[in-house]
Structure 1
């Protein structure tokens, strides 16, 4: 019997330092997120970051928390509940970090008699710190707990025509009536070394401005290329002029060279360049979360206005959009035939 496991990032149980700390520990101690030797990672995370970050992050989570719980979890659940009636196989939901574990999701499917699982990381673009860590963790659990199961992975869908159409249609709907000066595509940042580590050719990815536009097998796993490709395809669908949009990367940790340009730096410069009305879309996420609701819709908006900006629109993620849920249902049905 076939079944599907949708997997998103995860969330602390509550917006309190007590619950945020173990969540951040699990997340940041993942060797695919902070990819340095274990002892150095433990020193960095447990000796430095976790001394202050839980309180700061808890404050940020508290600003966006809903009565029903974490927005990321609630929106993922709404999506799963909309997709389930569209397909003829069980659809379970799990998170890579936190208490809604991949093991619990696989157990739920196992209890329904599922032996063939479609693993569906809810990330349009491939990255070590998102897609790969889900696939590796799921395989570890399968070997230990569910050896009779087989997995099929959903590859990055950054350029799939139906996904691009869903994203473009959603953006068009939210941009209606907003006469923006500039449209910013803000993607989650990753260290530049992650790009080089996932380069299957070991030589193509130079992050020099041209490699992402030069055809290569490396692009199948290149997060940077896939971000630029998503942007290009959406821009083509919407017919937006070249001088009216740009692409940046948000959410970096200090100490490493991360993908540039940086979202906060660029946004803060925009009012001085005459950009007074700014729209921001975050296509690295399919569900709104801390990085979209607090970092962009609150913090970036506030800084934009402090620097002279007048109007700021944070475009929601696809979330449980009906078209998007139908697309996911279609992909599942095509696999389940």
Structure 2
């Protein structure tokens, strides 16, 4: 019997500082997120970050928390429920960090008789700290607890026509009539992650992202972000001079992918951009990074710098057209089991 497991990042159990600290500990101690050796990672995370950041993050989570709980968890459940109505096999969810876990999601499926799982990491672009860590964790759990279960993974879909059409139409409906620029803000990653995930050793973070073909493209988060932007703006018929790409949410003093979103928001009004629309295509579900970091903090930064109108465009969330894309991508992987 076949089943589907939708996997997203995860969220604290509540806005209590203790729960946020527990979540951040699991998240930041993942070697795919902070890729230092264990001793130095532990020193940084448990010796420095977790002494101050949980209280600040807890306050931020309080500004976006809903009556049902974390927006990311609530929206992922809504996607699950809508998808379940479109397919005749079980659909469960799992989070890379915190609960419900990937293990609990797989267990729920196996208790229903599922032995073949399509696991869908809900990230359009490939990165070591997103898609790769989900796959690694799922394989670790499978080998340890469910050795007779087979898992097929939905691949990054950043350039798939069905996704680009879906995202473009969603943006088109929400784009204000008058805007000076449309900013695409993607979650940032340290530059070294780009090189670490490139087994071809052909990435140079300079001109290779813009090449039509390069062996590293299937592993390069930066290329995939720019490609998503290019395809969406082409679909929307937006001039290149009216689009901006930036990267948010950097941590620490290491070199992260540039340009940075906060610095870009501060600079745009000085370049004549007074009316800004902004979208976050690294996320399919609204969460702390979109609802608080961009929609609140980003708005304040832009307006304080001289901007006049700031319009945040929500993620795809549980839009019906997005659910149909999820269904199609899952069904493609379900076919894999027929040919093994």
Any stretches of 5+ residues in structure 1 without a counterpart?
Answer: none
DSSP-derived class of the 1:86 partner: coil
Does the alignment pair 1:14 with 2:14?
yes
> In the alignment, which residue of structure 1 is the partner of 2:328?
330
Equivalent position of 2:146 in the other structure:
146
The equivalent of 2:208 in structure 1 is 211
**What displacement does 1:332 show?**
2.3
Asked whether the 8 Å contact 2:120–2:330 carries over to 1, the reply is no
Distance 1:128 1:5 in 2: 20
Q: Provide the C-alpha distance between the structure 2 equivalents of 1:335 and 1:253, rounded to a whole number of angstroms.
A: 35
* Aligned residue number for residue 234 of structure 2: 236
Contact map agreement 1:185 1:248 (CA 8 A) in 2: yes
Whether 2:313 is the aligned partner of 1:318: answer no
Distance 1:335 1:201, change over 3 A: closer
Aligned to 1:188: 187
Number of residue pairs matched by the alignment = 334
Which residue number corresponds to residue 108 of structure 1?
A: 108
Alpha-carbon shift at residue 23 of structure 1 (Å): 0.2
Aligned to 2:159: 159
Q: Deviations over 1:46-81 (max 9, x none)?
A: 000001000010011011111110000001110110
Structure 1 residue ranges (4+ consecutive) displaced by more than 4 angstroms after TM superposition:
none
SS at structure 2 position matched to 1:185: strand
What secondary structure sits across from 1:270 in the alignment? helix
Distance 2:89 2:215 in 1: 33
Contact 1:4 1:120 in 2 (8 A): yes
Counterparts of 2:333 and 2:102 in 1: how far apart (Å)? Answer: 21
5 Å-filtered alignment, 1:165-176, equals 165-175=165-175
Question: In the alignment, is the contact (CA less than 8 A) between 2:78 and 2:318 conserved in 1?
Answer: yes
Provide the residue aligned with 2:338 in structure 1.
Answer: none
| 2:247 match: secondary structure | strand
- Under a length normalisation based on structure 1, what TM-score does the superposition of the two structures give? 0.98
Name the CA distance, whole Å, in 2 between partners of 1:330 and 1:160: 11
SS in structure 1 of the partner of residue 133 of structure 2: helix
Q: Distance in 2 between matches of 1:269 and 1:327?
A: 36
Q: Distance in 1 between matches of 2:183 and 2:161?
A: 21
TM-score, normalised relative to structure 2: 0.97
